[in-house]
Chains A and B, each alone.
Chain A
Amino acid sequence: AQKITQTQPGMFVQEKEAVTLDCTYDTSDQSYGLFWYKQPSSGEMIFLIYQGSYDEQNATEGRYSLNFQKARKSANLVISASQLGDSAMYFCAMREGLTGGYNKLIFGAGTRLAVHP
């Protein structure tokens, strides 16, 4: 069965420093997609970054980068130059298959990030 594991229930980081949030996944599929979402206390899930299983380069979106290590089945999120507004829950999610068809996301339990001034 497909599974996402986030082993850090909570993380603290000083403002302007970088932080890495861990995510490991388990799947027998060759084609899959990995996503990171941010959930502030308001509840809305905000899409941050995507990595496809066949992508050779690590994905980057502004201050967010995804450290994708396929052989280790890990997809860690790196946030550079942390800001106070980065304080939120962060969820790693996996989609089976890459395009079209059934599009179910499997989520991890999340990591709560607190950015301190």
Chain B
Amino acid sequence: ETGVTQSPTHLIKTRGQQVTLRCSSQSGHNTVSWYQQALGQGPQFIFQYYREEENGRGNFPPRFSGLQFPNYSSELNVNALELDDSALYLCASSLSRVGAQETQYFGPGTRLLVL
């Protein structure tokens, strides 16, 4: 059983650029959630995708967008990068099913630095 993988591991961008982060969910999982973790803080929920549709969104502007593909992998896109977007971006996958408790399993994260 393969775990959650993310790419790239590290990324450096300049202000105003666009970035795409990728996530492959754990085998058998159908839901992907993205979190932003600024230095010294706990992760903050960005959004969640279930069966290729956005299933909930946190307090992030529209320049944060995403996709989920039929194989349940996912992308996080951030347009018009700002310095405050520098953070660790974590992807988590889970299996959503009726009557069952869900646990989110996280990938290793992508460290984004915006200069």
State the A residues within 8 Å of B (CB): 4, 33, 35, 37, 42-47, 50, 52, 91, 93, 95, 98-110
Q: Which of B11-19, B61-69, B100-108 contacts A (4 or more CB under 8 A)?
A: B100-108
Q: Does B2 contact A (CB under 8 A)?
A: no
- Does A52 lie within 8 Å of B101, measured CB to CB? yes
State the B residues within 8 Å of A (CB): 31, 33, 35, 41-45, 48, 55-56, 58, 88, 90, 92, 94, 96-109, 111
- Does B108 lie within 8 Å of A37, measured CB to CB? no
Give the docked Cα–Cα distance between A52 and B105 (Å): 17
Q: How far is the CB of B95 from chain A (nearest CB, A)?
A: 10
- Does B97 lie within 8 Å of A102, measured CB to CB? no
- Does A109 lie within 8 Å of B100, measured CB to CB? no
Give the docked Cα–Cα distance between A44 and B110 (Å): 10
- Does A50 lie within 8 Å of B58, measured CB to CB? no
Please, which residues of chain A bring their CB within 8 A of the CB of B31? 103
Residue of B nearest to A109 (CB): B42
